[in-house]
């Protein structure tokens, strides 16, 4: 953190929060850097030459472990050209302390959650608040793809327009691997929703979409069913291509959470 998060701003925030902190000139102690991709030291050199200090917040837990928040990982080469100021803050209880600092840094530095190390986000309880932000992006994409594929397959199966092998082929990637008697039964649909989670089977593959962040959605789906709605499956009139297009548009315009809500709402 350099000029954008001034020393005074950190000081004021800590005071407002009533935190216990120690402020000292010097590099941060050794610890766990909370940010995932930090700037290389060379990026700080210009700011340092202008006399601006590098600002670090070091949250310390009761066991003396430091969680360091700063833009640049401190290296000995910075010692000659940069001055640093470190705020050592007591994070007790750990989750609340870290949570506040992570949110403060994210807000003042305009950082998305993905900029932080997943371990720190988890310890800070951020994943409990906005779980979807902690889910791996690639995994999430796969879930959306799987959901789309399932909608497509189900609709095609309901329409009877194509045979099962054709539908499977159209489903895209067939997971690689050897042919084996037990494996033959595994098709795209099983891959989407039926892969056992310790034996727990779902009657509706989509209520898993979005991971455990779908807890609320899950309840919502059940409520809709209880209200006399269709007991799962695709609504007859929905065109799969249209659904896929809508999902794509919703994802682009409104974000992933909206897609998740929409797929749950359609209770496919």
Partner 1 sequence: MFMRRGASALGTAEPAVLLFGVATPRGAMACRPQVDPAILLHRDPRAWEELLGWRCIEAFLERARGVGVRDLQGLVDYSFSAPSTMWILLAGVEFVGSYASCWEDYVRRRRVGMGARTPFPWLDVGVELDVDIRISPAYLLLPFEETKRTWQRNAPTLLRYIPEIPTALDPHYYISKFFPPQLRAFSARGYVWVANTKSRGRRNHALAEWLYWLNTRRMSHIDIMLGKFEPRSPIDMVVAKDCGGASARCRHFKRRLKCLHSAGV
Under the binding rule (CB under 8 A), the answer on residue 82 touching partner 1 is no
User: CB 177 → partner 1: shortest distance, Å?
Assistant: 4
Given 4, 12, 23, 249, the residue binding partner 1 (CB under 8 A): 23
Neighbouring residues of 31: CB distance < 8 A, sequence distance ≥ 6 = 58, 65, 66, 67, 68
Under the binding rule (CB under 8 A), the answer on residue 36 touching partner 1 is yes
Given 39, 43, 93, 265, the residue binding partner 1 (CB under 8 A): 93
Residue 24 or 39: the one with the smaller Cβ distance to partner 1 is: 24
Under the binding rule (CB under 8 A), the answer on residue 118 touching partner 1 is yes
Given 176, 226, 228, 236, the residue binding partner 1 (CB under 8 A): 176
Given 43, 81, 136, 248, the residue binding partner 1 (CB under 8 A): 136
User: CB 197 → partner 1: shortest distance, Å?
Assistant: 5
Given 29, 211, 232, 233, the residue binding partner 1 (CB under 8 A): 211
Under the binding rule (CB under 8 A), the answer on residue 112 touching partner 1 is no
Size of residue set near partner 1 by CB under 8 A = 62
């Amino acid at each position: 953190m350099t000029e954008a998060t001034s020393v005074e701003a950190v000081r004021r925030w800590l005071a407002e929060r009533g935190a216990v902190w120690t402020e000292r000139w010097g590099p941060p102690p050794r610890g766990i850097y909370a940010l995932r991709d930090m700037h290389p030291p060379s990026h700080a050199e210009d700011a340092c030459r202008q006399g601006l200090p590098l600002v670090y917040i070091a949250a310390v837990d009761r066991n003396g472990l430091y969680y360091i928040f700063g833009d640049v990982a401190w290296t000995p080469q910075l010692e000659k050209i940069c001055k640093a100021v470190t705020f050592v803050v007591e994070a007790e209880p750990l989750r609340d302390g870290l949570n506040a600092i992570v949110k403060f840094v994210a807000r003042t530095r305009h950082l998305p959650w993905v900029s932080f190390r997943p371990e720190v986000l988890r310890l800070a309880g951020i994943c409990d608040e906005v779980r979807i932000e902690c889910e791996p992006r690639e995994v999430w994409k796969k879930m959306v793809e799987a959901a789309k594929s399932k909608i497509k397959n189900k609709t095609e199966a309901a329409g009877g327009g194509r045979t099962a092998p054709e539908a499977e082929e159209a489903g895209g990637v067939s997971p690689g691997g050897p042919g084996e008697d037990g494996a033959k039964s595994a098709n795209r649909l099983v891959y989407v929703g039926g892969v056992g989670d310790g034996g727990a089977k779902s009657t509706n593959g989509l209520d898993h979409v979005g991971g455990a962040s779908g807890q609320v959605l899950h309840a919502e789906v059940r409520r809709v069913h209880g209200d006399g709605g269709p007991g799962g499956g695709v609504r007859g009139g929905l065109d799969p291509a249209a659904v896929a297009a809508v999902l794509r548009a919703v994802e682009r315009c409104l974000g992933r959470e909206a897609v998740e809500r929409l797929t749950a709402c359609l209770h496919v």
